[in-house]
Structure 1
């Protein structure tokens, strides 16, 4: 299980406090920035899948040790609620761009920022 943790760290971008679109600003044009941000979003999604798998494994182990089925279902419910929140929040961010050409970049940047935070939360829950 430790190798999965290492993989999650490798997949997660390191500049977690920076606006993802600024991380890609050296890419050049708005189209190139969009491609860069899209690639970063894919990396965050891959890292989140790994972090979620690790957290689910930990929750299942806890449920087995305690003889209760509480931690696994609670994590699943939290992840479902978080995913709905992320979608709604990033849609709101996109709406604030009024349909302008930077809307897609803003939405992807929001997904990256919230995804990075969720990865940290998931990994903090692993005992």
Structure 2
């Protein structure tokens, strides 16, 4: 293969990831004034993404708290240890519940343009509720 063709192919391959990144960028949407269904779907997804970030931060803190619990209880005997495992099991179970419940919520508009908004709204709502539950693991009332 001539050098020129190899150079062009290499350049095309290098540009592919950049073109995919541009194609996947989310359009600019003013979520305070969204009216079109596509914009409402985008805004609902953004809301869920923000709630998910907060959940991940709360889970990390809850994990740290349960690790401390296990360390504190270890002196009392191995039968008192297990907070970390309980948190992991609870979170895995919650994820399954969340996904199924929000899929069900989407059936209100199954196949319609509103379905993604309903699913994202459900995901955001349940995620915020779970975040509050996780915070109760490491926050104490004064």
Smaller-chain TM-score range? 0.7 to 0.9
Structure with larger RCO (C-alpha < 8 A, sep 6+):
1
CA distance in 2: counterparts of 1:98 and 1:111, whole angstroms: 16
TM score, norm. by length of structure 1 = 0.77
**How do residues 92-111 of structure 1 correspond to structure 2 at under 5 angstroms?**
92-111=104-123
- For structure 1, the residue ranges without an aligned partner over 5 or more in a row are 1-23
Residue 48 (structure 1) aligned to one of 29, 32, 55: 55
| Separation of aligned partners in 1, 2:70 and 2:52 | 26
SS at the partner of 1:49?
helix
RMSD: 1.3
Question: C-alpha deviations, 1:46-86, integer Å up to 9, x for none?
Answer: 11100000000000000000004310000000000000000
Instruction: List gaps (5 residues or longer) in structure 2.
Output: 1-30, 75-79
Larger radius of gyration: 2
Q: Match for 2:128 among 110, 116, 121?
A: 116
Q: Taking structure 2 as the reference length, what is the TM-score of the superposition?
A: 0.69
Number of residue pairs aligned between Structure 1 and Structure 2: 104
